[in-house]
């Protein structure tokens, strides 16, 4: 379906495979939350805390679960997962301007690059020798694709993205602006003359449907490749070091950093600001809470944390002082227990 500014409720029900109740010809011109929707918008009710808004919403229609269908007399789309329904509909209402077709005259494309049908290359973009851009790839203005890299079907680089040489991407990959894929891993050997650079001879491989956030960096491998499997999503300002491997559908929130040669399983979620040290293995299904540091391998699915809770700085300073006395406190506690026990014997 091509984007339009208005849809009938029937068309949206068909798109989602949702049950429609009410006026099928209702015109929908946008999406919104149930509390903020205006009378030409379709709202969704995903969070049970917001059920109270069913009484007051001005929405033209509401997407809700079967269990709540009877609670709302107005126009509705009934769907097992309303949030997923909303997510799918956003593609219909995304009116972001399209990049012009073809190769902009100011772009610099090496004669040996291969551009399939439907490829768009933006103004002042640079495509080096031997690059392969598959069908419908979009290269944003001022972006760079290094020699011999390959970008899969319908993938998109936004403006000012940088792909070094020897990077391979699957289909439907999205790379946001400022992201850098394939810079050298941080490898140096100490010597009497200072650090000797370990040239990074591997590449980077991104699977299908990978999304990489703005200003995120994914380094090339030292000998082998750095690998993100299908469906991995990465937020902004994330650092993924050389030879990291990330399993399918794992999600990594902003400002996280993953050190070299660490592997992460499938369906993991790292909250923002998480750090993983190098050379460890995280199994499938692990969640790490915000700004935690993972210092060893994790072999059981579950949620993991480090750090301390927040408090007023004045209170916190007292706790922080005591933290550094903890070992002594533990010894004093043991001594007391012993003394108390011997008195009672």
Site residues for a copy of itself, 257-316, by CB under 8 A, read 257, 259, 271-273, 275, 277, 287, 289-296, 302-316
> Among residues 230, 281, 283, 284, which is the contact residue for a copy of itself, using CB under 8 A?
230
Q: How far is CA 192 from CA 24, 160, 188, 196, in A?
A: 77, 39, 13, 9
> Among residues 35, 36, 101, 114, which is the contact residue for a copy of itself, using CB under 8 A?
36
How many residues sit in the footprint of a copy of itself (CB under 8 A)? 139
Residue 5 carries which DSSP code?
A: S
Q: How far is the CB of 63 from a copy of itself (least distance, A)?
A: 12
Residue 66 carries which DSSP code?
A: G
**Known catalytic residue: 242?**
yes
Q: Is 97 in the site for a copy of itself (CB under 8 A)?
A: yes
Q: Which is nearer to a copy of itself, 117 or 193 (CB)?
A: 193
d(CA 167, CA 69): 49
- Angle, vertex CA 208, rays to CA 206 and CA 211, nearest 5: 70
Q: Residue 233: which H helix or E strand, with range?
A: strand 233-234
> Among residues 24, 69, 132, 198, which is the contact residue for a copy of itself, using CB under 8 A?
198
Backbone torsions φ then ψ of 318, nearest 5 degrees: -65, -45
Contact 272, 291 (CB under 8 A): yes
> Among residues 16, 20, 104, 139, which is the contact residue for a copy of itself, using CB under 8 A?
104
> Among residues 14, 68, 239, 281, which is the contact residue for a copy of itself, using CB under 8 A?
239
Q: Which is nearer to a copy of itself, 198 or 283 (CB)?
A: 198
Residues 124-183 that bind a copy of itself (CB under 8 A): 124, 126, 128-130, 140-144, 146-148, 158-160, 162, 164-166, 174, 176-178, 180, 183
d(CA 78, CA 17): 9
Token digits of residue 54: 């069913």
Q: Which residues are catalytic?
A: 242
């Amino acid at each position: 379906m091509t984007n339009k500014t208005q849809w009938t409720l029937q068309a949206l029900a068909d798109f989602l495979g949702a049950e429609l109740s009410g006026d099928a010809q209702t015109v929908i011109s946008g999406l919104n939350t149930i509390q903020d929707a205006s009378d030409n918008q379709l709202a969704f009710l995903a969070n049970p805390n917001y059920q109270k808004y069913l009484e007051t919403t001005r929405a033209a229609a509401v997407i809700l679960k079967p269990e709540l269908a009877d609670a709302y007399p107005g126009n509705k789309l009934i769907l097992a997962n309303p949030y997923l329904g909303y997510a799918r509909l956003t593609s219909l209402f995304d009116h972001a301007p399209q990049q012009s077709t073809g190769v902009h005259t100011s772009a610099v494309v090496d004669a040996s690059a291969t551009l399939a049908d439907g490829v768009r290359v933006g103004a002042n973009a640079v495509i080096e020798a031997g690059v392969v851009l598959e069908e419908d790839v979009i290269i944003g203005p001022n972006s760079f694709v290094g020699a011999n890299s390959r970008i899969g079907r319908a993938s998109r680089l936004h403006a000012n993205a940088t792909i070094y040489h020897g990077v391979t991407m699957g289909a439907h990959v999205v790379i946001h602006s400022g992201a850098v894929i394939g810079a050298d891993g941080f490898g140096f050997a100490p010597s009497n003359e200072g650090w000797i650079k370990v040239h990074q001879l591997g590449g980077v491989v991104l699977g299908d449907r990978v999304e990489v956030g703005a200003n995120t960096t994914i380094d090339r491998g030292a000998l082998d490749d750095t690998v993100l499997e299908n469906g991995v999503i990465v937020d902004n300002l994330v650092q993924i070091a050389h030879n990291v491997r990330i399993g399918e559908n794992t999600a990594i929130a902003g400002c996280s950093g993953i050190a070299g040669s660490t592997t992460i399983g499938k369906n993991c979620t790292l909250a923002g600001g998480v750090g993983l040290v190098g050379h460890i293995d995280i199994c499938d299904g692990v969640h790490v809470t915000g700004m935690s540091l993972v210092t060893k391998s994790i072999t059981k699915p579950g949620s993991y944390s480090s750090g301390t809770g927040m408090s007023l700085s004045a209170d916190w300073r007292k706790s922080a002082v005591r933290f550094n006395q903890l070992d002594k406190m533990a010894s004093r506690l043991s001594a007391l227990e012993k003394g108390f026990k011997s008195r009672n014997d």
